[in-house]
């Protein structure tokens, strides 16, 4: 973003790097028709490439922008693309519908933010006491969950370099 003032810098964090194995987790994965517990490992095993997108809670403008961009770039044609946010399965159903990405993309629901903590990318939200969410991040994984590419926000707000991610697909 081009703004005439500095945005908030985020402190560096210790997250899985390229070449590391991304931590496995199981959470409800929401599709266009239902949700069920699914593990990252099984998603990876079923796909050559998985793009794991951690984003702001559903309804926040960054979540809307990120999914509009991914939808318009049709990443689902080249990889299994899944989101993670702290929103509930009910909210995820709505996001899938509103962004018109039902059937192409699925969303993990992690209201307690445990996955983000496992990945070292958890972030408190100023002014929303008791709520934390993932720092915006993108992990591109191979079928063994090896990290091929990682982007983690260094500012707040911050958006992925979509061209860079796309180059990995």
Partner 1 sequence: MKGARQRSPYPPFARIAAQSMSESDITLYRLQACPFCERVVRTLDEYDLDYRSRFVEPMHSDRDVVKRLSGKRTVPAIVDENTGVTMSESANIVAYLERTYGDTTEGGAA
Which residues sit at the interface with partner 1, rule CB under 8 A? 26, 28, 33-39, 42, 89, 93
**Smallest gap, in angstroms, from Cβ of residue 92 to partner 1?**
11
- Tokens coding 123: 């972030």
DSSP 142: E
Cβ atoms of 25 and 115 within 8 Å: the answer is yes
**Which CB sits closer to partner 1, 88 or 166?**
88
**Which CB sits closer to partner 1, 93 or 135?**
93
Strands (E), 22-159: 26-30, 35-39, 49-54, 80-85, 106-109, 122-124, 132-134, 137-142, 147-152, 155-156
**Smallest gap, in angstroms, from Cβ of residue 112 to partner 1?**
15
**Which CB sits closer to partner 1, 87 or 137?**
87
**Smallest gap, in angstroms, from Cβ of residue 96 to partner 1?**
12
DSSP 130: T
**Smallest gap, in angstroms, from Cβ of residue 36 to partner 1?**
5
């Amino acid at each position: 973003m081009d703004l005439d003032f500095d945005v908030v810098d985020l402190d560096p964090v210790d997250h899985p790097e390229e070449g590391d194995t991304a931590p496995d987790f199981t959470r409800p994965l929401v599709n266009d028709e239902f949700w069920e517990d699914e593990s990252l490992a099984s998603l990876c095993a079923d796909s050559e490439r998985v793009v794991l997108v951690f984003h702001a809670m559903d309804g926040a403008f960054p979540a809307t922008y990120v999914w509009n961009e991914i939808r318009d770039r049709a990443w689902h044609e080249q990889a299994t693309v899944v989101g993670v946010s702290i929103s509930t399965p009910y909210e995820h159903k709505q996001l899938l519908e509103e962004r018109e990405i039902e059937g192409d993309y699925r969303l993990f629901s992690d209201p307690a933010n445990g996955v983000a903590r496992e990945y070292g990318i958890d972030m408190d939200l100023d002014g929303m006491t008791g709520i934390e969410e993932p720092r915006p991040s993108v992990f591109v994984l191979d079928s063994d969950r090896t990290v091929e590419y990682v982007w983690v926000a260094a500012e707040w707000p911050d958006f992925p370099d979509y061209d860079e991610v796309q180059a990995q697909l």
